[in-house]
Structure 1
Amino acid sequence: MKRKILALAAVSACGAASAQSGVTLYGVADINVEYVNRVGAAVPSAANGFQSGAGHSVVRENSGGYSGSRWGLRGTEDLGAGMKSIFVLESGFNLDSGTSQQGGRLFGRQAFVGLSSEYGQLTFGRQYHSMFSTLANFIPARYATQYEPVGVIAGANFREDNALKYVGVFGGLTAQANMSFGVGTTLPQVIASVPAAGGNGEVPGQYRRDTAYGVGLSYLAGPFGVGVAYDQWNPTIGTGSGTFKKAAVMGSYAFNDTAKVMGGYRWGQNKNQNGGLTMRDDFYWIGGQYRFSSALDFTLEYDYQNVKSLGGNTHVANPWQVALIADYTLSKRTDIYLTMAYAKNAGLAMESAASNYATSLTVNNYALSNGQSSMFGAAVGIRHVF
């Protein structure tokens, strides 16, 4: 199961760094060929009347199917007395075109610096929030890029600008807390009654605008694992700030390093600048990982979103998805994989108005075409870790 952690290696890179000073270049090159059916011609927006258009099948080459393609630098300097300085600069890129991801940012995945000691590490910059990092050990597919509904699970603000974060590891217990002074994420208007939200924040006289904070606590000992997490984002809406809240509980159990099951529940509530409810949902996931042989791993994940209210509509068809990943190792650094998913009442990655089409805005268009209720996709790819 240890190879599954490759997709999130940079999240914990600083905690694993040795005391010796130095800088390390690292990265992942991941590409695949994908087939998807019933894809809409456009992502719904106010400009197109919140319609996705006619559906078509598509065959395309994609960057980052199992892990997001990236390169990065991480470093540490021993300051003495058990203290270290640390930094990470991580850039996401499209391997199929050579362009930058995350809106063209040079280091859009992570960019932070801080201090580390036996009491934990304190870092400043663009970072993953605490809920995202806590969930990482309890999500079967470990945020596999292609079809994982990360925007639904952890929120579209799972990476935050202008952030301060603490992580402390004490035996099997990991405690995390974060605060952002301006998240830097913008969500478009994808349903007439739910306005656009988010922005850059850090505006004089508007301290609450685009701020966020969260905490996470997990305990992993032997075969058992449990965790809890909370996140709140206060995005700009009109001339005020909304309140987007999420809370999650999770658990896992491992069987002799051959199989591991995990699952959890995430509560969510979004309110606009006037305190009016724009969305209320419950999200559930369950699945596992199974090592068939020393070279072959399988991952299965089922996700279900109970949309209780969306822009005042209390009769939304609830999205769900089942995804399978088969990964075959060719060497310590190179593997090939097959990933498949079937989604109902949403596009792949559970793309719908309830997720603000977060994946379609950043990776591939998985907006379900007009008049359709399901989507299937499959991709075969190769990944090299360096």
Structure 2
Amino acid sequence: MKKFAIAALVSVVAVPAFAQTVTLWGRFNTTVESVKTGSADRVVKVNSNSSRLGFKGMEDLGGGLKAAFQLEHGFDSDTGNSNAGTQFWGRASNVSLIGNFGEVRLGRWIPGSYFATVDYVSMHNHDTGTSADALASEGTMFNPRSNKVGYFTPKLGNFSAEFDIHAGEGVDARAYDLSVNYDNGPVHYGFGYSKQGTQKQYAIRGLYQLGAFTFGGYYQRETEDTFKANPDRDIGRVSVMYTTGPSEFHVNVGGTKAGGSFGAYGGKQYTFGYNYNLSKRTKVYGYYTAVDRTAPNSVGDSSSLAAGLRHNF
């Protein structure tokens, strides 16, 4: 990360000299993969795995009060194109006030219920690329990110929580998102709930660290989805990581019943991965992942054998 202190500039223009820092940060995460989708022939692809570029800053206003902002752009590292459509700051664009009361945030960001549950147990590649969770409710991952007001509690013992409201603005339905996290030594729990119109989901997550092993899992219930044919669905996933030196070995298995945003048939997903950490910022990795939808709905079946490089800055 590169940090630029601008307090000196503030003093030059005779503005009250509150300290402010701005951080430039990002991630390149790129894989070379052999991919098969449905009945199509297997092809070799170079894929981006949620590569991003961001700016964040904070100003100390005094009296325990701080102002902060975040801008985060998603791009395809294999082509250089934006992956957020017309939204350049598609991953995040928000401003907040922070104090002893917690944080009040306005703008755009990814729902907290996703990070508290689905993303938390995808340890092998942070729920990105072809090995991302293909079964979880879309209400978790894509519950409206824009036009939001959010409140983040301060740390309350081992608990923290986030509550967000999306203003429909007469365009779509108002949406709500709630997440709660509990962290106490090797034990980590999470809960997430989101609702927009008739679509709702809730999920619980657990993760336990035992020496070189880390065990994680979540259960999710999706109800009254926009797709009415089979509105209710259960999703589950378990993951295990074993670390030795710079090496990580990963197994990740998920399954779902028919219904909801996944469609009229259920399915399973398997991922086996290996990461080698060259430093705290850089790793090389490989994985095999496969999505197997229950017959006769095999159109969405896919598998990928991948090798990748991830670098944070």
Measured against the shorter chain, the TM-score band is 0.7 to 0.9
Identity across aligned pairs (percent)? 26
Deviation at 1:153? 4.1
Counterparts of 1:309 and 1:112 in 2: how far apart (Å)?
Answer: 31
TM superposition shift of 1:144: 3.1
- In 2, Cα distance between equivalents of 1:116 and 1:151: 35
- Whether 1:285 and 2:237 are equivalent positions in the alignment is yes
Do the aligned residues in 1 keep the contact of 2:237 with 2:253 (CA within 8 Å)? Answer: yes
Match of 2:200? 245
Whether the 8 Å CA contact 2:283–2:311 is kept in 1: the answer is yes
C-alpha spacing 1:158/1:309, structure 2 compared with 1 (3 Å): closer
* Separation in structure 2 between the aligned mates of residue 310 and residue 250 of structure 1, nearest angstrom: 20
What code does the residue aligned with 1:33 have?
Answer: V
Aligned partners of 1:179, 1:225: CA distance in 2, in Å? 26
* TM-aligned CA distance change 1:211 to 1:378, over 3 Å: same
Distance change (3 Å), C-alpha of 1:166 and 1:267:
same
Of residues 76, 81, 103 in structure 1, which corresponds to 2:63? 81
Q: 1:380 to 1:133 in 2, by over 3 A?
A: same
The residue that corresponds to 2:194 in the other structure is 231
Give unpaired runs (5+ residues) of structure 2: 1-17
The SS at the match of 1:131 is helix
Where structure 1 has 5 or more consecutive residues not aligned to the other structure, the ranges are 1-18, 41-53, 183-201, 235-242, 347-351, 354-367
**1:143–1:150 contact (8 Å) kept in structure 2:** no
The verdict on how the C-alpha distance between 1:30 and 1:138 changes in structure 2, with shifts beyond 3 A counting, is closer
2:165 corresponds to which residue? Answer: 179
Give, in angstroms, the shift of residue 128 of structure 1.
1.4
- Between the aligned partners of 1:260 and 1:161, the Cα distance in structure 2 is 34
Q: What's 1:302 paired with?
A: 253
Match of 2:289 in 1: 341
Q: Give 2:27's aligned amino acid.
A: V
Is the 1:151–1:158 Cα contact (8 Å) retained in structure 2? Answer: no
- The AA in structure 1 aligned to 2:256 is Q
1:137 aligns with 2:120: yes
Equivalent residue pairs, number: 292
2:75 to 93, 113, 123: 93
Q: Does 1:254 align with 2:209?
A: yes
How far apart are the structure 2 equivalents of 1:340 and 1:20?
A: 47
Q: What TM-score do the two structures reach when normalised by structure 1?
A: 0.69
User: After TM superposition, where is structure 1 displaced by more than 4 Å over at least 4 residues in a row?
Assistant: 308-311
Give the counterpart letter for 1:289 in structure 2: M
Alignment partner of 2:136: what SS?
A: helix
Matched, 1:382 2:297: no
TM superposition shift of 1:55 = 1.7
> Which range moves more in the overlay, 25-34 or 160-169?
160-169
Amino acid of the structure 2 residue aligned with 1:120: G
Q: Counterparts of 2:238 and 2:182 in 1: how far apart (Å)?
A: 19
Deviation digits for residues 36-57 of structure 1 (CA, Å, limit 9, x no counterpart): 12x25xxxxxxxxxxxxx5221
Specify whether residues 70 and 123 from structure 1 end up closer, same or farther in structure 2 by C-alpha distance, changes over 3 A only: same
Paired AA for residue 176 in structure 1: E
Structure 1 residue 299: deviation in Å? 2.2
Alignment of 1:313-328 (within 5 A): 316-328=264-276
Q: Determine whether 1:147 maps to 2:131.
A: yes
3-state DSSP of counterpart to 1:326: strand
Cα 1:383/1:139, change in 2 over 3 Å: closer
* In 1: Cα distance, 2:131 partner to 2:231 partner: 23
Shift of 1:300: 1.7
Q: Is the 8 A contact 1:131 1:154 kept in 2?
A: no
